[in-house]
Structure 1
Amino acid sequence: MARSIRTVAVFGLGKVGELVAGLLRESGFEVVGHDQVARAGLEVPTTVLDVADEAAVRAALAHVDAVVSCLPFHLNIAVAEAAYDTGVHYFDLTEDVPTTNRVIELSAQKPTSVFAPQCGLAPGLIGIIGTSIAETFEEIRSIELKVGALPQHPTGLLGYAVNWSPEGVVNEYLNDCEVLRQGHRQMVPAMTEKERVVIGGVELEAALTSGGLGTMCSTYEGRVHRLDYKTLRYPGHFEQMHFLFDELNLRDRRELVGQMLVDAKPPVNDDVVYVHAAVEGLKNGQPFRENHVRAYKPIDISGRTWRAISWTTAASAVSVVELVADGVLPDAGFIRAEDIRLEALFSTRSGRHFVEQGKV
């Protein structure tokens, strides 16, 4: 059967976007990459593109079937609106709630193409895992989702390295978090409700952060007593972040804090991505808790070593594009992580990496 998506534009060719383009090409799509600066030596054709130029963005989408935006969250709405205007399928990696709300609005106004934001790691893969476990329960008491992108060999009091967008990190630490408590949606402060977590003998701490649940609260409201998303860090990290934001009064200086974090804790190549999903409830008539726990490390793809945060995010996003193209997912309307089953994601060319890696 012919694919519904054959040609894909990738906006933003950073460490994730470059791999998204490469995985799409490996999966049989024709790909063209766009970035604000010239990129040489990639395996796909590229152009220089300023996303602020609306005409140029729409021209870039004129001859493709889909676009994957790997841009900073504040640039995604412009791309989503251009996709809406041109009838192109839209995918992104954002964790930003207002951005996703705008994408939902666009999907309702033109349900003839796909709008699939939040296709990365969290939100994205972690929600797919949680939903896939939850559907095996007769009654669900709680869904607990946790992800941490960390250095394998931490140093200092923060025990951290900024391998992801500093804007995204600061936002998830400061924006209020949507959760379910007693089955109802609530907004609670970020970096609260800390708990101890041990994965493969490594002690971590987890605290609530924003954006990781995507649309799951609206999906499960009234059906699940407790639902939340927490970020995993090494012990003591959140205490230091409270000092930075509160003791030093930097909550209103997000850009400065992001730059400080990058300067103090620059990216590393030897990272690890921890994924921890747990569902409690009744299964086969008995109380039960099911866990899905992984620790993903850098891997080689097409002769090059990719950071864990890069390949887990990229492989998740490209898997969703594959599922739409191959007719496993609808080819129109808004697609949520809750609409995707982990078994289906694992069956894709890009999704196979999750099967082969990460066991603890």
Structure 2
Amino acid sequence: MSRSINRVAVVGLGKVGELVASLLDRADFAVVGFDAAPRPGLDVPSQAVDVSDGVAVRKALTEVDAVVSCLPYHLNIAVAEAAYDAGVHYFDLTEDVPTTNRVIELSAARPESAFVPQCGLAPGLIGIVGASLAAGFETIRSIELKVGALPQNPTGLLGYAFNWSAEGVVNEYLNDCEVLRSGRRQMVPAMTEKERVFIGGIELEAALTSGGLGTMCQTYEGRVHRLDYKTLRYPGHFRQMHFLFDELNLRDRREEVGRILVDAKPPVNDDVVYLHAAVEGVKDGQPFRENHVRGYLPIDIDGRTWRAISWTTAASAASVVELVADGVLPHTGFVAQEDIRLADLYSTTSGRLFAQDQVTQNQGVTA
């Protein structure tokens, strides 16, 4: 069967972008990477491009069928608009709501191309898991989604390491969160509604953070009584963050806070990604709660070890590109993450990585 996508550009070749390019290459796409500077030694050819130069970005997209933006959230709109002008399919990893709203506008104006934002971990994979669980219920009372990208061996009061964008983490902690309460969309403060969570005997805490639901509140409004997304951390983390932002009055100094946090808690290689999804309602005529709990560790891909946060994010994104290319998902218009079946994602070349047994050492969590 012929594919609707054969040639793919990956813009932004950081840790996740580099792996997205490699996974797409493994899935038999012709891939070219673009970054601010040439990146020799990659699995795919790469070229330099200045994403602030609209003409250069549009020229870079003339020879491809699709583009995956792996850039910081504030740079995605420029790539999405270039994809619109070039008439190519668009994918990104953003958790930023205004960016997604702009992508939805573009998809309505050019319905002949697919626009699929939020293809990462949260939003992205966790929404796919939640929607797939919910599909088996006759009526749904609640959908609870939680993700934590954490060090396996935490230290200090924060118990954290910035393996992901500090800019993105700070925004998630400070921007208001969209939730469903009594079936209606509401905005509530981040880092509230804290609760204890146990995974494999490990105690964690969870609190509301922004962006993780993507478009799910719009999709499920009026159908689900309660829907929210929370970030998982080790106990005491959010208390320290409240001290930082509120006691020290740093809420309006986000860039400075990001630099301080990365310096204090730099990245680590021994990370773990926890996914915790739960749906309550009526299934097969009876009240029921269904859980999907996983813990993912770093894995080896073609002789190289990748952090858990990197490969889970990249594999989810690459899988969605495969599903659109192969016609499992629509190749026209806006595609929401909750439209994707988890079984379909697992069936792709990249999605099969999630099927590998993942056991967190001494923590008893098995995928």
Give the alignment's TM-score, normalised by structure 2: 0.98
Query: For 1:295, what is the secondary structure of its paired residue?
Result: strand
> Residue 99 of structure 1: SS of its match in structure 2?
helix
Q: What is the 5 A alignment of 1:134-173?
A: 134-173=134-173
Match of 1:228 in 2: 228
Q: Distance in 2 between matches of 1:50 and 1:254?
A: 25
Q: Which residue of 2 aligns with 1:326?
A: 326
Q: Deviations over 1:63-89 (max 9, x none)?
A: 000000000000000000000000010
Query: Which residue number in structure 2 is paired with residue 132 of structure 1?
Result: 132
In the other structure, the counterpart of 1:93 is 93
After TM superposition, the score normalised by the length of structure 1 is 0.99
Look up the match of 1:188.
188
RMSD: 0.6
Q: Secondary structure at the match of 2:292?
A: strand
Mapped partners of 1:267, 1:40: distance in 2? 24
Say if 2:350 is the partner of 1:350: yes
- Show the counterpart of 1:197: 197
> What amino acid maps onto 2:94 in structure 1?
T
**Structure 1 equivalent of residue 81 of structure 2:** 81
Q: 1:43: how far off? A: 1.0
Match of 2:363 in 1: none
Quick one: which amino acid aligns to residue 123 of structure 1? P
Give the drift of 1:357: 3.5
Paired with 2:44 and 2:345, the residues of 1 have a C-alpha distance of 24
- TM superposition shift of 1:302: 0.8
SS state at 2:259 partner: helix
- Separation of aligned partners in 1, 2:247 and 2:37: 38
Q: Give, as a single letter, the amino acid of the residue that structure 2 aligns with 1:182.
A: S
* Counterpart-to-counterpart distance in 2, 1:201 and 1:349: 32
Task: Name the residue aligned to 2:290.
Answer: 290
Work out the number of aligned pairs and report it. 360
Aligned to 1:70: 70
- Secondary structure at the residue paired with 1:8? strand
* Aligned AA (2:346): F
How many Å separate the matches in 1 of 2:350 and 2:194? 34
Instruction: Measure, in 2, the Cα distance between the counterparts of 1:332 and 1:60.
Output: 22
Stretches of structure 2 lacking an aligned partner (at least 5 in a row): 359-365
Counterpart amino acid of residue 120 in structure 2: G
Residue 255 of structure 1 and its aligned partner are, at CA, apart by: 0.3
1:178 aligns with 2:178: yes
Counterpart in the other structure of 1:260: 260
- Structure 1 unaligned residues grouped into runs of 5+: none
Matched position secondary structure for 2:228? strand
Identity of aligned residues (%): 79
1:180 positional shift:
0.2
Question: What CA distance in whole angstroms lies between the structure 1 residues aligned with 2:62 and 2:319?
Answer: 24
CA distance in 1, matches of 2:266, 2:237: 16
Report SS of the residue matched to 1:16. Answer: helix
Q: Deviations over 1:242-287 (max 9, x none)?
A: 0000000000000001111100000000000000000000011111
CA distance in 2, matches of 1:43, 1:218: 39
* 3-state secondary structure, aligned to 2:15: coil
| Paired letter, 1:122 | A
Could you say which residue in structure 2 is the equivalent of 1:27?
A: 27
Shift of 1:356: 1.3
Task: Report the Cα distance in structure 1 between the residues aligned to 2:305 and 2:356, rounded to whole angstroms.
Answer: 16
